[in-house]
Amino acid sequence: MNNVIKNEILAPVGNMDAFYAALTAGCDAVYLAGKMFGARAFSKNFTNEELVYIINYAHLYGVRVYVTCNILIYESEVEKFLEFVEFLHKNNVDALIMQDIGMIDLVHKTFPNLELHGSTQMHIHNLDGAKMAEKLGLKRIVLARETPIEVIKEIKENTNIDLEIFVHGALCASFSGMCLFASSIGPRSGNRGTCSGCCRLPYDVLDKNGNILNTGKYPLSMKDLKTIDYLNELIDLGITSFKIEGRMKSASYVYITTKIYKETRDNYLKNKEIKINKDDIKKLNTIFNRTYTKGFLFHDKDVTNDNFPNHQGIKIGEVIDYKNNHITIKLLDDISIHDGLRITNENYEYGFLVNEFYINKKQVYEAKKNDIISLKVNKNIKVGSNVLKTSSYKIEEEIKDIINKKERKIPISFDFKAIKNVKIELTIRDNIHKITLYGNVPEISKNKEITKEAINNKLMKVKNTIYEIKEININLDNNLFFPISELNHLKQDIIEKLNKKRINSYKKNFIKQEYYINLKNYPEDNLYSILTNNKENISNKYSIIYSEVLDNSIIKIPKVMNNYNNYLTDKEYLTGEIGSLNKLNNVITDYSFNVTNSYSVAYLHSLGVKRVTLSLEIPDKEIKNLINNYHDRYHKHPNLELITKTKKEVMVLKYNFDKYKNACYLRDRFGNDYKIVKKGNVLYLYDYKETKREKEDDHYFKLGINVLREEYYE
């Protein structure tokens, strides 16, 4: 029963209403988070008690539960993190979704029976990254949303790892795990679950002379991914799981999106055709959409909505008159009282809930396509403005009613037998399990004979359970009697046993082992390194030189790797992506490996990584904790590098601004200019300000850092 469903529909769950919505819509699995360690810290999320309830309740329905533990873990958090993981494992969670490479290694070695999935935050976007994930012990990986379908096919054909891909919902502008934008402007971090959504803010795109190139003010705001029309290609490819984004979205959104993808998948598997419910698509568009793209998955280049970063709803009309704070609208679609509207043109957008409106000066509560309505507004509105419906009271109430009814049912069959001189017998069957219980020997009585109709009526009544009757078979001798209450007790007991059996079929064999790793000792050094493409920046201060272009330097290779052929040499390389660990020798890992704890350092050293650069987001106090614990646990010294001065890469984008010719800078609302540099097919966005470590160099050398790096991007 707990085998993975091929082509699983995986639904997002941010609160209890969304959980019931996902179940009702027919999901195969849900993903969610506890109160800590999840990458959507601003979702409501769940207490430990709620997680236990959800796991058991989902398992009753044959639905798997994946808990996101996909933030970077600081050294001071490891003990609490491991306690949470053990709690989840003991309560039969189906898998954890994780980003932190050290925690993956620790959890895999400590709890070998716990299934682990690699988060999209791991930036796995090529075959070698997938192979490295297999070596790490991951059962499944969530591929980077930028991964095209031909690369996914290559990974599928050349690995045994399960593949999960996003099929619907919000997209990040940057490769996940590579974005430092939020932490560069404030205390929040996408790698720590507190992304501030910088990409949804307005920016000017400038050329080198400061001329503004963009008309739409949101050049980083991605459209929503929508692949429903191409689901057949993904099914035929053998993808394990189709993931819907949306842990911060409403229960209505979770319900309708899950329903659409589930029904479309089921129809294709049954009839080999893509058949999409257009009415449901209209409901989805009304509930939430930022306009759509088929994504980099299917080579769509039109991936941003420059004009608006928010929900667009559906167009239902146009303003045909405005006078004295009253507008007249010619409707293209229906409207009801309590619907949400947004009026937009090129200069503004104005949103509100409709409390009253009129047709021919008569107040009405509904209006239809082609009707002309009037209503009061609190803003000057331009004639010709578009009218969007951004919420529908009717749709919300309809979906809420469906969710509250909890109509998802498990089909069961009853076999009942009552024959002379033998105990009565009741058997229950679902699609996997079979249970039989026995009652008393029935009496022989011609006056009080029990009937098949009475038995059938009693067995049919399962309304207050998760089950529905598929079939009832009754084998009954004549002239027998037993109290109908006995059958009722048998039915209650056998349903309870089936419930337990369904839940227990997901029970894990809990094993906890001692963590072990084999490491070498590194000498303690006090060295300086520089990353630069300009020889003039180099002085005798620097013992180590990194560059993308300079001869006789350690070559920094791209963070997005489609081909390693140019790097298959004996040279040393500075790498920032996981596939390099599988493909290359003589590597030093860069800060984008997001190393924030001693377990990550140890794992990378165990693979032969010569030096590990710590995360740019790690606080000074956690550096001290990391090194002290490394010494205490392994009795060895690590070879660590720390960047003390840089204008960091705050984003790495596959979307490369081709529509903005000669783009050089991105200017934010405060006049800060972020440099845009295109390298190959990847765009890098550099911070406007220099980041420096707070303490003097000697402080970090005394802590145990071997190399301090300064970076100069031109």
- Find the helix or strand (DSSP H, E) in which 405 lies: helix 393-405
| Count of residues in the chain | 714
**pTM of the predicted model, to two decimals?**
0.94
Cα(616)–Cα(595) distance, integer angstroms? 9
Q: How far are the Cα atoms of 205, 473, 655, 669 from residue 684, in angstroms, in the given order?
A: 14, 68, 10, 20
Q: Residue 673 forms beta bridges with which residues?
A: 667
691, 184 contact by CB (below 8 A)? yes
Percentage of the chain exceeding pLDDT 90: 89
Q: How far are the Cα atoms of 61, 94, 97, 194, 619 from residue 71, in angstroms, in the given order?
A: 29, 19, 10, 10, 15
Residue-level pLDDT at 195? 81
Residue-level pLDDT at 177? 87
Q: What would the pLDDT profile of 97-138 be if each residue is shown by its tens digit?
A: 999 999 999 999 999 999 999 999 999 999 999 999 999 999
Where residue 46 falls among pLDDT bands split at 50, 70, 90? very high
Other residues' Cβ atoms within 10 Å of the Cβ of residue 690: 10
Q: At a CB cut-off of 8 Å and minimum separation 6, what does 129 contact?
A: 122, 123, 141, 577, 578, 579, 582
pLDDT at residue 41 is higher than 80? no
650, 184 contact by CB (below 8 A)? yes
Residue-level pLDDT at 44? 76
Q: At a CB cut-off of 8 Å and minimum separation 6, what does 244 contact?
A: 9, 10, 11, 12, 166, 167, 168, 169, 254, 257, 258, 261
Residue-level pLDDT at 39? 58
Q: What would the pLDDT profile of 335-376 be if each residue is shown by its tens digit?
A: 999 999 999 987 788 999 999 999 999 999 999 999 999 999
pLDDT at residue 379 is higher than 60? yes
pLDDT at residue 4 is higher than 90? no
Instruction: For residue 576, give the amino acid letter.
Output: G
Which is it for strands 64-69 and 95-98: parallel, antiparallel or unpaired?
parallel
Mean pLDDT of the chain: 94
Instruction: For residue 204, give the amino acid letter.
Output: D
Cα(251)–Cα(402) distance, integer angstroms? 11
Average pLDDT over residues 150-172: 97
Q: Residue 679 forms beta bridges with which residues?
A: 682
Cα(149)–Cα(295) distance, integer angstroms? 10
Average pLDDT over residues 477-489: 94
Cα(649)–Cα(232) distance, integer angstroms? 38
369, 333 contact by CB (below 8 A)? yes
Cα(307)–Cα(293) distance, integer angstroms? 15
**CA diameter of the chain:** 110
pLDDT at residue 184 is higher than 80? no
* C-alpha distance across the termini of the chain, in Å: 57
Residue-level pLDDT at 178? 86
DSSP string, 561-582: -S--GGG-SSS-EEE-STHHHH
Q: What would the pLDDT profile of 648-666 be if each residue is shown by its tens digit?
A: 999 999 998 888 889 999 9
Percentage of the chain exceeding pLDDT 70: 98
Cα(374)–Cα(538) distance, integer angstroms? 70
Q: At a CB cut-off of 8 Å and minimum separation 6, what does 710 contact?
A: 528, 529, 530, 531, 542, 643, 644, 645, 646
Where residue 1 falls among pLDDT bands split at 50, 70, 90? very low
Question: Interhelix angle for 48-60 vs 484-504, to 10°?
Answer: 110
Alpha helices in 505-637 (DSSP H): 579-583, 598-606, 620-634
Cα(295)–Cα(275) distance, integer angstroms? 21
* Cα atoms in the Cβ-side hemisphere of radius 13 Å centred on 485: 0
Residue-level pLDDT at 186? 67
Structure tokens at 337: 């009282």
User: What's the DSSP call for residue 535?
Assistant: G
Q: What would the pLDDT profile of 458-475 be if each residue is shown by its tens digit?
A: 999 998 899 999 999 999
Sign of the C-alpha dihedral computed for residues 247, 253, 259 and 260 taken in this order: negative
Instruction: For residue 539, give the amino acid letter.
Output: S
Cα(271)–Cα(275) distance, integer angstroms? 9
Where residue 638 falls among pLDDT bands split at 50, 70, 90? very high
Question: Interhelix angle for 48-60 vs 16-25, to 10°?
Answer: 10
Residue-level pLDDT at 694? 86
Cα(698)–Cα(490) distance, integer angstroms? 76
Strands (E), 136-244: 140-142, 162-169, 204-206, 224-226, 241-244
Which is it for strands 682-686 and 467-476: parallel, antiparallel or unpaired?
unpaired
